[in-house]
Structure 1
Amino acid sequence: MKRTLLSLLFLSGITSLSISAQTQLSGADDGIGYTLEECIDYALDHNIALRQAELAIENSLVGLNQSKANVLPSANGQFGLNSNFGRNIDPFSNDIVTQSISTNSMGVGANMLLYNGYRLKNTIARSTLDLEASRMDLAAQRNNISLQIAVAYLNVISSKEMINVAEKNIEVTRLQLERTQKMVEAGSLAETNLFNLNAQLANDELSLVNSQNQFETSILTLKQAMNLTDNRRFDVGKINVPEPDLQLYPESPQQVYEAAINYLPEIKAAEIREEMALKNIQIAKAVGLPSVSANVSWGTAFSTAAKNLVPNGFDTQTVSATTVFDGQTVPFTIDFQQPAFTQENIPYFSQLGNNQSMNAGISMQIPIFNGFNKKYQMQSAKIQQMQSELTTENTLLGIRQNIDQAYINMQNAAKAYSANLVQVDALQKAFVAAESSYNAGASNFVDYNLAKTNLDRAQANLIQAKYDYIFRIKILDFYQNKPLEL
């Protein structure tokens, strides 16, 4: 049964379960046993793949916030200190000087993209879709893990029932052994019957041991599926699973499919990625469109070479000249008075205030040739769109095929369960008759043992058929977002 259910699990690949998250297990500590909800909650909280998927969602959220932030203006400041030695150019007078000059410059600039073919807008939309697709992927993983736990949990319950059947078989054999002992002592039966019943009891006890081993294996499988690694006492709660209804399943395969495509996160994720592919095409188109930016900047500077000229009286300057008088060259001098100045350093903050400059402007960049970048980006985006459409189509096809297969499996399981019910009922009556005949001495041990063996085998088959049928019903329920209830 275990292999059958797990095979169906990987075939279906879908489920849903809406339950509140819990991080503590409380069942077996008080002797009650863990409920299915507790096991699923624990598995969801401790599954490493789920935690990785949650981190992927956080990373997608970071990418979305980054794409939104790219719309905001960018602002940068600069601050520089420089020292020049030897032959230099005075940055204020542009004179060539031979002296050491120290300069200090600072400024702030801001730039804002006004238009780039809606590339930023479409990038934000794509990041939003990527985040939503990641959330759908996480939901699908949670559903698959929930169903995996449900399979393991059903196997544990089935193993428990097999133990109960084995214990009842031992009890029946022991009662028969006591009767036979009395009949042998009374001389009604041969002593060989005691030997045969002791052998039968040994076989029943071996069946019990095998059932207990299977139970321990199913417990380990469930714990491993939950990632429960401690050595606490572990058991499942006592659940009285009702006999499944053999009435016709209320929904047809088409109705199940129509419910599934409106619910399953796998389908939603595929459809979202189709929308992402369309956004990629729009982003690629923007590569060939102009981009417009606005910018503004402010700056100032200080230099040790900057000096102020301070008036310092007047200087007399004598200029020699000549003139011609009566054919004679006559030399003479002329005294000129001109203002005198002295140089003094300009204070640091005064220079910063005096040397301020501002700039504002708008620039446009028009793509002319970029190595066919737009062409190849468009081709790649269109191929991605076709791939996403095929992925969605394949997902829908796979879901439809899985539902059809699950429906057939459910019908076959119902038939098998019904046949096993009839068989157990008939073999039960046959065993009662064989037991009465054996106790009356009218039949031998071989007939009694054959009837009991057939009944034991049929009861085991009935348990497997019962849980197989229950699980296959739950598969169809999960496609329709029905809650898991045992």
Structure 2
Amino acid sequence: MKKLIICSIALFSFAFAKAQTQKQWTLQECVQYALDNNISIQQSELDLKAVDADRLSAIGNLLPSLSASTSLSENTGLSFNPVTNNAQTTTFLSATGRINVGYTVFNGLRNFRQLQRAEISQIANQYRLDKMKDDIALAVANNYLQILNNKANLETLIAQNLVTKEQVEQTQTLVDAGQLPKGDLLEIKATDAGEQQQIIIAQNAVTISKVSLAQLLLIDDYATFDIAEDDFEIIDSGISDQPVTSIINSAEENRSEVKIAEQNVELARKDLQIAKGAYYPTLSAFFGYDTRYTDATSFGQRIADPNNPTITRQIGTVENTGQAVVSEVPNTESFIVGASPFIEQLYTNDGIGYGFQLNIPIFNGFSARSNVQRNEINLERSELQLKQAQLDLESTVYQAYVDVQGAHKSYEAAKTSLESQELAYEYARERYNVGLTNAFDFSQSKLRYDNTKISLNQAKYDYIFRLKVLELFFGIDPKDLKL
């Protein structure tokens, strides 16, 4: 017996020293790590960034549009001079530049509504992100408490098995002395074997629950992952003593389920306003500036002889007499005009254009009207979903409140049952030690005692989890959950 105790202490000391070299995660660390690394949360954060881009686009629709363009070309053969607009058979280089400014003065307030919709969508996505964080935190807490429960069960089974091994040694001594039948020894050994099997099952349960939490946290090193092994007590901040109506009201103010549904109604309302904007005319303003350059030559006219500025030329004949008709015309000659400098052409060949454009919708195949009808239906659907979300939240909170009350009663009942079973077990052990009861009856009493301790562990951590759920509904931040 002394060797067994020494070996157990040594094994426990080794396991404890090994655990000390490993990081042991607290609940707050697990929750924070999950919030920082969970893939679903990261995807929701990307959705929030996408909404920021939509909002930026909506803001841009309220601002004037500005564009600039330029072109450079070389023409060979018969082409139109972009400056004189005359046809020429030659080779020349030409360049044009243009700046356009446009602004939507009125389009049924659709641009303004789009900005409002983007802002509402941003709020809605933030609420969705908050809800996902709450769900992840609750899942982490549930897995964390499951590990604690499985560890507590394992400790219970190991401790009770040590007692059983002690009984095996005592029974062996009594059987060897002829004071007890060999059947009692076999019964105790069978109990020991059964407990060893339960210990193995409990160890596997601890391992599996730790792996589940590690996977939820996206931690790959399952072998070394472990949680802090403190003696967690039930911490009731008094929320369970609040009237259920107060908890429901707090949940409606703090929880994201109803807020998401409310923002969906606002989104549907904005979509309807945007759709109705298609009924109104669209008024746009525009302004354009352009200029051009070419290196093409052109022809000019000048006075051939300054001393004789005019000459007499025949311009026709009289039809009946055939008499010539003459007139004085300018004495001019053609000459080649070279291209003006680039900078000079830019400001001499420029021009501007500006004005307004009004587009009045008259008939578009009922597309605007059908779009309005679809959005009216969507608004009604969103309003119904809001009512359903309010009812669901009220039902869920009420269920959580009842679960806490029931878990508390179950925990108190389990404690009372454990006290009774412990007294019964001690009484049975005393009777067994003095030979007043057989090994089977003693093992049954011990089994009931062990099961009661396991039931108490289950009731304790179930009660803690129910309290954490109620705290989240009451508005406590997931990172502030405490055990």
Q: How does 1:130-141 map to 2 (within 5 A)?
A: 130-141=121-132
User: Do residues 39 (structure 1) and 30 (structure 2) align?
Assistant: yes
- Does the Cα contact within 8 Å between 2:314 and 2:325 map onto a contact in 1? yes
Distance in 1 of aligned mates of 2:416 and 2:316: 148
Distance in 2 of aligned mates of 1:333 and 1:233: 117
Distance in 2 of aligned mates of 1:484 and 1:353: 72
CA spacing shift, 1:456–1:231, aligned 2, 3 Å = closer
Aligned residue in 1 for 2:468: 474
Paired residue type of 2:339: I
Paired residue type of 1:272: Q
Paired residue type of 2:133: R
User: Do residues 342 (structure 1) and 347 (structure 2) align?
Assistant: no
Aligned residue in 2 for 1:392: 386
Q: CA deviation at 1:71?
A: 1.3
Q: How does 1:42-441 map to 2 (within 5 A)?
A: 42-89=33-80, 97-100=88-91, 102-231=93-222, 233-242=224-233, 249-303=240-294, 304=296, 306-309=298-301, 313-314=305-306, 317=311, 319=313, 338-349=331-342, 350-441=344-435
Q: CA deviation at 1:78?
A: 2.1
Paired residue type of 2:226: D
CA displacement, residues 189-211 of structure 1 (integer Å, 9 cap, x when unaligned): 23433232222222222221111
Paired residue type of 1:424: L
CA spacing shift, 1:187–1:299, aligned 2, 3 Å = same
CA spacing shift, 1:353–1:211, aligned 2, 3 Å = same
Secondary structure (helix, strand or coil) at the match of 2:268 reads helix
Paired residue type of 2:123: E
CA spacing shift, 1:406–1:175, aligned 2, 3 Å = same
Q: CA deviation at 1:65?
A: 0.6
Secondary structure (helix, strand or coil) at the match of 1:114 reads strand
Aligned residue in 1 for 2:482: 485
Q: CA deviation at 1:361?
A: 2.0
Q: CA deviation at 1:147?
A: 0.6
- Does the Cα contact within 8 Å between 2:76 and 2:92 map onto a contact in 1? yes
- Does the Cα contact within 8 Å between 1:430 and 1:451 map onto a contact in 2? yes
CA spacing shift, 1:228–1:335, aligned 2, 3 Å = closer
Secondary structure (helix, strand or coil) at the match of 1:249 reads helix
Secondary structure (helix, strand or coil) at the match of 2:103 reads strand
Secondary structure (helix, strand or coil) at the match of 1:262 reads helix
Q: CA deviation at 1:401?
A: 1.6
CA displacement, residues 98-150 of structure 1 (integer Å, 9 cap, x when unaligned): 55565432221111122222211110010011111111111111110111111
* Deviation larger for 194-203 or 385-394: 194-203
Aligned residue in 2 for 1:460: 454
Distance in 1 of aligned mates of 2:377 and 2:316: 94
CA displacement, residues 57-84 of structure 1 (integer Å, 9 cap, x when unaligned): 1111111111101211111122233455
Q: CA deviation at 1:45?
A: 2.3
Distance in 2 of aligned mates of 1:29 and 1:301: 81
Q: CA deviation at 1:385?
A: 0.8
Distance in 1 of aligned mates of 2:87 and 2:125: 65
CA spacing shift, 1:121–1:181, aligned 2, 3 Å = same
* Deviation larger for 297-306 or 55-64: 297-306
Q: CA deviation at 1:56?
A: 1.0
Paired residue type of 1:346: A
- Does the Cα contact within 8 Å between 1:284 and 1:381 map onto a contact in 2? yes
Q: CA deviation at 1:339?
A: 4.2
CA spacing shift, 1:189–1:110, aligned 2, 3 Å = same
- Does the Cα contact within 8 Å between 1:140 and 1:265 map onto a contact in 2? yes
Q: CA deviation at 1:185?
A: 4.2
CA spacing shift, 1:243–1:270, aligned 2, 3 Å = closer
Aligned residue in 1 for 2:7: none
Distance in 2 of aligned mates of 1:365 and 1:454: 86
Q: Quick one: percent identity of the two aligned structures?
A: 28
Paired residue type of 1:168: A
- Does the Cα contact within 8 Å between 1:309 and 1:344 map onto a contact in 2? no
TM superposition score normalised by structure 2: 0.86
CA spacing shift, 1:439–1:232, aligned 2, 3 Å = closer
Distance in 1 of aligned mates of 2:316 and 2:382: 99
Q: What is the root-mean-square deviation of aligned Cα atoms in Å? A: 3.1
CA spacing shift, 1:115–1:404, aligned 2, 3 Å = same
Paired residue type of 1:442: L
Aligned residue in 2 for 1:11: none
Distance in 1 of aligned mates of 2:316 and 2:235: 136
The gaps in structure 1 that reach 5 residues or longer are 1-26
CA displacement, residues 253-309 of structure 1 (integer Å, 9 cap, x when unaligned): 222211100001121111111111111122112112122222211112234254454
Aligned residue in 2 for 1:6: none
Secondary structure (helix, strand or coil) at the match of 1:189 reads coil
Distance in 2 of aligned mates of 1:470 and 1:147: 12
Paired residue type of 2:44: A
Distance in 2 of aligned mates of 1:248 and 1:364: 63
CA spacing shift, 1:180–1:296, aligned 2, 3 Å = same
Secondary structure (helix, strand or coil) at the match of 2:62 reads coil
Aligned length: 456
Aligned residue in 2 for 1:16: none
Q: CA deviation at 1:446?
A: 2.0
Aligned residue in 2 for 1:20: none
Distance in 2 of aligned mates of 1:393 and 1:319: 98
Secondary structure (helix, strand or coil) at the match of 2:241 reads coil
